[in-house]
Amino acid sequence: MIKLAHAPKKGLHGKISVPGDKSISHRALMFGAIATGVTEIENFLTSDDVLHTMAIFQALGVSIEQTGTHVRVVGKGITNFTAPKTALDMGNSGTSTRLLMGLLSRQPFDMSIIGDSSLSKRPMRRVLTPLEQMGAKINLSTEGTLPGIIQANNQLNGMVYEMPVASAQVKSAILLAGMQAEGETTIIEKLPSRDHTERMLQQFGGKISTKNGMITISKQGVLKGQHVLVPSDISSAAFFIVAGLITPNSEITIEKVGINPTRDGVLKLLKRMGAEIAIAKIPTSGEPLADITVRTQALHGIHITAADIPSAVDELPIIALAATQAVGDTIITGAEELRVKETDRIATVVSELSKLGASIEARPDGMIIHGQTPLATSQDSTVLESFGDHRIAMMNAVAALITKGDVTLVGEEAMRVSYPKFLSDLAKVMQ
Ligand SMILES: O=C(O)C1=C[C@@H](OP(=O)(O)O)[C@@H](O)[C@H](O)C1
Ligand SMILES: C=C(OP(=O)(O)O)C(=O)O
């Protein structure tokens, strides 16, 4: 529990570097482990979710050394893992669970997979169903959740799969199985989801093709260890971007943020809301990077629809907070995926922001946020809960910046999942 005093008097100022991208850090470990030779990872995210992925590969016999944000993986090749002695613990991480169900679906031994109480409620049948079609043998609970067992299996077959949900985790699970399958695997995506798996496979020397929403992969040859520079995480940067826009008298720059076009929805949506965001691109051979500068600005409400969701899915809680300050209503539809994240993020966004006087209605597939509501607390200190969800914990902390009256955060330790030092980094730009 932590008590936050209200609004910084002189706003937010300065430059900030947020930690490495969570999605890319997971994938760098995975490709490093299945490649041959050494992979060096720079600006690696040392958060709970990614550390669970790391511990899993160590349990499979992969040598991984971490010194701060630098990681060295000695690749084993995908056929040389050793049987783990205990269950593989996915912690709170949907990405670890779903991607590893695909990646580990052709191993010569059984593996138990477990997760924390939030993860054990999240739907895994969305990966189980396509992986079973390919020949994987995986047991889950009757509800299609963890705990489960990835059974020993020596045969996977390619297939054509039309994605029923826009999900990079489902797509990646199928690709990571497809690269070990006989024959071709083709995935048809109605809406593009983040493409970090496809990009990283190519960086490691693999072959994959993407054309008109069809992604095709075949059995891969030997992948070679690489040097991976992880961009700073746009999902973490989003909390500072919105904080800079809505906190009076602010101007901040977030440095070297990943602006992959399948991830930059938060920038596009905030621009549609009227924000001027300066994006200074930084030349690089890997994932695109930019310094992002924002200052306090008036925003207006917009309609966010299904096509907008995949590239901004984790940023919708903080966009909802921005919308409470915008002129007019913001309507979010087609976002039912929010209901199956670490919490039901439609319910938790509405419950926590409503405690501060925001006017938000939950809808089955989104929210209606009525704008221009000053956030205030009538009590001495309003208690905002994270419900164990890191993104809700950080949204609450940013809301406290513009709340009249004190806010007490409960469950703020959930930030460890993606951004352990969020509160101290936020304090650095507060004046
Ligand atoms: O592939 C990934 O790294 C992720 C994909 C998204 O999940 P879905 O694929 O379930 O939408 C996102 O919410 C998650 O934080 C990370
Ligand atoms: C949904 C998230 O992650 P995951 O699915 O990996 O738990 C997130 O980081 O907001």
Per-residue model confidence as pLDDT tens digits over 220-237: 999 999 999 999 999 999
How close is the Cα of 381 to the center of ligand 1, in Å?
A: 34
- Ligand closest to Cα of 391 equals 2
Q: Residue 7 pLDDT > 90, yes or no?
A: no
Q: Identify the pLDDT of residue 127.
A: 98
Ligand 1 contact, 168 CB (< 6 A): yes
Q: Are strands 13-16 and 251-258 parallel, antiparallel or unpaired?
A: parallel
Residue from 42, 31, 76 nearest 284 by CA: 42
Q: Identify the pLDDT of residue 8.
A: 82
Q: Are strands 36-42 and 227-229 parallel, antiparallel or unpaired?
A: parallel
Q: Residue 219 pLDDT > 80, yes or no?
A: yes
What is the best residue among 313, 315, 340, 392 to mutate for testing ligand 1's pocket, by most ligand atoms within 8 Å of CB?
A: 313
pLDDT tier at 117, thresholds 50, 70, 90: very high
Give the pocket of ligand 2 (CB within 6 Å).
Answer: 22, 49, 93-95, 314, 341-342, 391, 418
Q: Residues at the annotated binding site for 3-phosphoshikimate?
A: 22-23, 27, 167, 169, 314, 341
Per-residue model confidence as pLDDT tens digits over 69-101: 999 999 999 999 999 999 999 999 999 999 999
Per-residue model confidence as pLDDT tens digits over 370-390: 999 999 887 778 999 999 999
Q: Residue 9 pLDDT > 70, yes or no?
A: yes
Which residues fall within 8 angstroms of residue 250, CB to CB, at 6 or more apart?
11, 12, 13, 243, 244, 294, 295, 296
Q: Residue 6 pLDDT > 90, yes or no?
A: no
Per-residue model confidence as pLDDT tens digits over 122-153: 999 999 999 999 999 999 999 999 999 999 99
Q: Residue 5 pLDDT > 90, yes or no?
A: no
- Ordered by where they begin, the domains of the chain are 2-19+231-429 (3.65.10.10), 22-214 (3.65.10.10)
What is the best residue among 169, 191, 392 to mutate for testing ligand 1's pocket, by most ligand atoms within 8 Å of CB?
A: 169
How close is the Cα of 200 to the center of ligand 2, in Å?
A: 19
Q: What are phi and psi of 369, to 5 degrees?
A: -115, 120
| Between 264 and 380, the higher pLDDT residue | 264
Active site residue 314: yes
Mean pLDDT for all residues in the chain: 97
Mean pLDDT in residue range 277-302: 97
Considering only the C-alpha atoms of the chain, give the largest distance between any 2 of them, rounded to a whole number of Å. 64
How close is the Cα of 314 to the center of ligand 2, in Å?
A: 7
Q: Tell me, yes or no, if the pTM score tops 0.90.
A: yes
Separation CA 254–CA 240 (nearest Å): 8
Q: Which residues are 227's β-sheet partners?
A: 40
* Ligand 2 atom index nearest CA of 389: 10
Q: Identify the pLDDT of residue 380.
A: 76
